[in-house]
Amino acid sequence: MTTRITRFETHDIRFPTSLTGDGADAMNTDCDYSSAYVTIYTDSGLIGHGMTFTIGRGTDIVCHAIRELAGRLVGRDPESFFEDMGKTWDWLCSDSQLRWIGPEKGVIHLATAAVNNALWDMFARARGKPLWKLIVDMTPEELVNATAFRYITDVLTREEALAMLKAKEAGKRERETLVTKVGYPAYITSAGWLGYSDEKVARLTKEALASGFNHFKMKVGTDLKDDLRRGKMIRSIIDDPANYPSGFKDPSSPELAGKNAGPTGAVLMIDANQVWDVPQAIEYVAGLAEIKPWFIEEPTAPDDVLGHAAIRRALKPYGIGVATGEHAHNRMVFKQLFQVEAIDVCQIDSCRLAGVSEVLSVLLMAAKFGIPVCPHAGGVGLCEYVIHLSVIDYIAISGTMERNVLEFADHLHEHFPYRCTMNERGRYNVPSNPKEGYSIEMYKESIAEFEWPNGSYWVGARGGKVLST
């Protein structure tokens, strides 16, 4: 009997993180971490969950776009989608009237991510595997067919991608065994938000050290003198051998080469969240060279490919790299960043790109250009998503996690039954539950409490008044 998609639900879910300064940076000062969430239902009981991360107002707009896209799925057999997920991705992007309001960027692309991710979640659940396992078990031919290739074949053809994947086949099982044993390396952002006091930053940094982390990121961009002071404070903690009772890493080890690691092997990164013009970025970051950052993340507008290339050239003498990708609209922006050698680190986002199929295209391009992939995960649900993507990259595509680190932010994981977890080495544990799919299912109680505007939290918070969130 054929299964059919019968209906879907969308939810505008907002968490009041602005009250505690979580997520605050130079550009985004009042973030309420939010989720434009979709669940797709079938007549067989099979379901799929997907979401796109937002930061408050405007989540309802994304939900409206999700409804327009998800409506196209109703009445279809999900197995027809699973047969060729690359073709399914092309079809999702092919509604000409919806495409017109992108194309392949902005709100419509965010909505496409939620829907495509929900289909991948359903696919993994249908096969009884976590998403990463579903994909690494694919043949090279199946994985190529699951990937979005339109507009990137001048840099990566399907034939090249197939050859790359076949070349990595031999060691896949050994890599799978290793990463499931030791976990995937991570860095922490939670200690470095701009909205935190010095005391809170120091406390969280020490707690992160005790949890096994040795890569740390701080937000910068509002005041050079204050950023330098805060950076020195963090450096004084992470570079002090006394804060490593169990020993520390050799700064000359291969995974730390070129990262400006301090005497304990600790690495500091900085993130400006797009706040500067190109000349400002160069001058400002040069002024922070004393705290030895590995890279500056999002130094300027995310669409300014040549601007990033100019910043990278100017900062090279200081030993500071450039990272971006959190707000890169699509695979074409990444293609150009690679082509003009604009970045040292590729930072994909699991729902800024339009779902798994487009992410695969960027992972393949990054592997071809030899650029490490360190995904963005500073938002609700993103850590749950991106551990799958990093494991896919390591096992099936790049074959390396030596220099890669995956962002971790310690916020809101309690709302997910299949939440991400960390081990004592400061690494992500690899998802292992065969029922969890893409790990983005949210508790119904959390949706009921934080759905905007009528969830129980928001009704109680406004006391009958309309809030601006």
Q: What is the pTM of this model?
A: 0.95
Question: For residue 193, what pLDDT is reported?
Answer: 75
In whole angstroms, what is the distance from residue 316 CA to residue 325 CA? 19
- Among 109, 308, 376, 415, the active-site one is 376
Question: For residue 464, what pLDDT is reported?
Answer: 46
Alpha helices per DSSP H over 355-429: 356-369, 382-392
Closest CA to 403 of 412, 394, 411, 395: 394
Q: What is the per-residue pLDDT across 93-152, written as a single tens digit (0 to 9) for each?
A: 999 999 999 999 999 999 999 999 999 999 999 999 999 999 999 999 999 999 999 999
Active site residue 335: no
Q: What is the per-residue pLDDT across 353-368, written as a single tens digit (0 to 9) for each?
A: 999 999 999 999 999 9
160-190 CB burial, b ≥16 within 10 A, e <16: ebbebbeebeeebeebbeebbeebbbbbbbb
The helix/strand/coil state of 324 is strand
Active site residue 232: no
Q: Is the pLDDT of residue 24 over 60?
A: no
- Among 215, 219, 308, 411, the active-site one is 219
CA 32 to chain centre: 18
Question: For residue 23, what pLDDT is reported?
Answer: 60
